[in-house]
Amino acid sequence: MEETNKTTLEEDFKKLESLLKEMEREDIGIEDAFAKYAEGMQLIKTCNEKIDRVEKKVMQLSDDLKLTPLDENGTSGEE
């Protein structure tokens, strides 16, 4: 699923929701349900990879900024 790498997480989540609704239909055949299941599993993998990249960026930013916690007065204590 090459095209999912060019979509946002929000778009991917909407697609997953759509796939789930299609799979819940009573008139869906087993082959169609399995194809949608496989597509959904690939999409979940893609979403997890995107989330991992975002987490790594946030951690890198946190490390670079070296934020210090505020004290009870709302100051960083470095002033």
pLDDT tens digit sequence for 15-31: 999 999 999 999 999 99
Answer whether residue 79 is part of any domain: no
pLDDT of residue 59: 80
pLDDT of residue 73: 61
Q: What angle do the packed helices 30-65 and 9-23 form, to 10 degrees? A: 160
Answer whether residue 1 is part of any domain: no
d(CA 76, CA 7): 39
Answer whether residue 3 is part of any domain: no
Answer whether residue 18 is part of any domain: yes
Domains: count for the chain: 1
pLDDT tens digit sequence for 43-68: 999 999 999 988 888 887 777 666 55
Using the 8-state DSSP alphabet, how is residue 29 labeled?
-
Q: Which residue segment(s) compose the domain that 60 sits in?
A: 8-65
Predicted TM-score (pTM) of this structure: 0.66
pLDDT of residue 4: 42
Which of residues 15 and 69 earns the better pLDDT score?
A: 15
Whether 12 and 46 have beta carbons less than 8 Å apart is answered as yes
pLDDT of residue 57: 83
